[in-house]
Structure 1
């Protein structure tokens, strides 16, 4: 019986690079305290970090239906897509206007967040951020579509949401969710659930 050859230990990281990665990680932690307009099922404000986590989980669940997709790239897009909000916070969709230029603000904040990183990682993350914003690749289209779907599904769990709130969801992010067949199919099911919630809330109000 022959023993496996011993692997050489990985060389120690460059100290400056290591410091940059840890500094970025500590700044990115701000996303845990960045609150969204939605709540959890227990009516606690939801953080953007929690939204990003469940978005990644959602994508993983549909991996078998995404055989032709670069899953690692898709997950990277999902992880970083809202990181810019760690600095300036989230603006709820109903309150956003074209004059806000949210994309430019989030990109500026994302660049600022990435300052501690070594140049190669900084360029990679900024490239992913720009890919997501452009929404031209299949992975970016999926990331944007799933992002909208996760948001609506979270809204379904909000105990304080009224019928008017859910009616807004029926038109929310349609362009993104209908960009590809899979997200369009999921959207059909999610919209059916939204209508059921609206009908139930309307009936309760009428009674």
Structure 2
């Protein structure tokens, strides 16, 4: 029984590995396109670095939400924020992919992963709201240091995710720093 659980978890992890190859629209500081796995890694790092500034949150849950939030993209890929409205309900599609990915797992673990994803999507808790904000802020941070194409839309970033990033004084102050850097990048 135990060996089967190991094999099932490894099957899930093999599916999750595909996230390393899903490219986002953001570019790294060396000019190559960023993977969704790299974004999720730095989102978790961002949450850890600013944990004491985020208030009384369950850091373990925050980090779990960071790891799960884009995991469904491993199967269907990333939809850039500027294109989300044109692609229907991105969250439903990612959840369906996550259902497929977690199918080898025992019910309690599968349900835990899906519950975390649903919590994030609904911004149902203070932890999920913070991760939603940090997700937007990590993307903006990447755009302030990446080798973006000449036609990059910095103006979009100045409004991106404000309902989450303006939710607390700390997140708003972090946002202002990144907005200043965005304006500098836009000005050339």
User: 1:44 and 1:78 mapped to 2: Cα distance?
Assistant: 23
Q: Paired residue for 1:193, among 174, 178, 181?
A: 181
2:52 paired residue number: 64
Residues 169-184 of structure 1: matches in 2 within 5 Å? 169-184=157-172
TM-score where L is the length of structure 1: 0.86
Q: Which protein is bigger by CA-based radius of gyration?
A: 1
User: 1:68 and 1:46 mapped to 2: Cα distance?
Assistant: 31
Q: Is the 8 A contact 2:20 2:38 kept in 1?
A: yes
State yes or no: 1:119 paired with 2:107. yes
User: 1:63 and 1:123 mapped to 2: Cα distance?
Assistant: 26
Residues 1-207 of structure 1: matches in 2 within 5 Å? 14-97=2-85, 100-162=88-150, 165-199=153-187, 201=188
Change (3 A) 1:123 1:54: same
User: 1:136 and 1:160 mapped to 2: Cα distance?
Assistant: 33
Change (3 A) 1:162 1:175: farther
The Cα shift of 1:179 comes to 2.1
CA RMSD, Structure 1 to Structure 2 (Å): 1.5
Q: Would you identify which runs of 4 or more consecutive aligned residues in structure 1 move more than 6 Å?
A: none
Q: Secondary structure at the match of 1:82?
A: coil
More helix by share: 2
User: 2:118 and 2:66 mapped to 1: Cα distance?
Assistant: 13
Change (3 A) 1:130 1:191: same
Change (3 A) 1:31 1:164: closer
Gaps of 5+ in 2: none
1:4 paired residue number: none
1:132-182 CA distance string (max 9 Å, x none): 001021000000000000000101112234475111110111112112222
Q: Is the 8 A contact 2:26 2:148 kept in 1?
A: no
Q: Across the two proteins, how many residue pairs are aligned to each other?
A: 188
The Cα shift of 1:190 comes to 0.8
Q: Is the 8 A contact 2:54 2:130 kept in 1?
A: no
User: 1:195 and 1:21 mapped to 2: Cα distance?
Assistant: 45
